[in-house]
Amino acid sequence: MVLGKKGVYLAGLALHLFLIITVSSRDSFWLLSKSRTIFPESSKNFWQRAEQIASTALGQRLSASNPARQILTGYLHLSGIEAGYGFFAPNIPNSYKLVFELRFPDGRVEYELPRVSNAASVLRVAGLLDQIGRTRSEAFRQTMVKMLADAVWREHADATMIRAIFGSVILPSAAEFAHGKRESYEFLYAYDFNVSEKSTDQSTP
């Protein structure tokens, strides 16, 4: 192989590794700025600033239509390096649960969970619920819950009202478990979907 070609390969690799490190750093800084870690609370501003610098390096501060940003973001997705690797870190958050309360014209009430066929898909739905639980956008949360409610409604077309109750699963510690405490649920949001009015009412704790 001639040196020139090797140089091109090395330059490509350098750029690729730079992107991996920058994306991973950005996500790590984000985790540090949002989570409880061994660092003092006062350091969160520092991590936030570091995250902003990493985002700038990735072109995330350019306008969404900027071709450079479009190409860079496209490449990150194509190569699978658009996200960092802070799985289950720095701490493991509570999980979320979504329960649908279906009301029928005859007064019957049934409860349903988002339904999929197998365990592999259950993992995917759990990831979706995590996204809904963590988002700060109420519009996004409401849209997602409404779509999930629609899926349940298609299977229970005669239901007149669906209440979607979104909650957090509070996990006991090992010591608490030994003393008889079990997982509990904290109510976070509820949405009422009415078939006749097609309206959405929301309630929060």
Q: Which of residues 117-136 bind another protein (CB under 8 A)?
A: 117-128, 131
x/- letters, 29..68, toward another protein (CB under 8 A) = --xx--xxxxx------------------------x----
Q: How far is the CB of 195 from another protein (least distance, A)?
A: 15
SS (H, E, C) 93-152: CCEEEEEEEEECCCCCEEEECCCCCCHHHHHHHHHHHHHHHHCCCHHHHHHHHHHHHHHH
Return d(Cα 130, Cα 30) in angstroms, integer.
17
Q: Which is nearer to another protein, 10 or 108 (CB)?
A: 10
* CA Rg value for the chain: 23
x/- letters, 134..173, toward another protein (CB under 8 A) = ---------xx--xx-xx-----------------x-x-x
Q: How far apart are the first and last CA of the chain?
A: 66
| Interacting residue with another protein among 42, 88, 107, 199 (CB under 8 A) | 88
Q: How far is the CB of 67 from another protein (least distance, A)?
A: 10
Q: How far is the CB of 194 from another protein (least distance, A)?
A: 19
Pair 68, 56: CB distance under 8 Å: no
Q: How far is the CB of 99 from another protein (least distance, A)?
A: 13
In this structure, what token pair is assigned to residue 136? 């700060």
For position 80 contacting another protein by CB under 8 A, the verdict is: yes
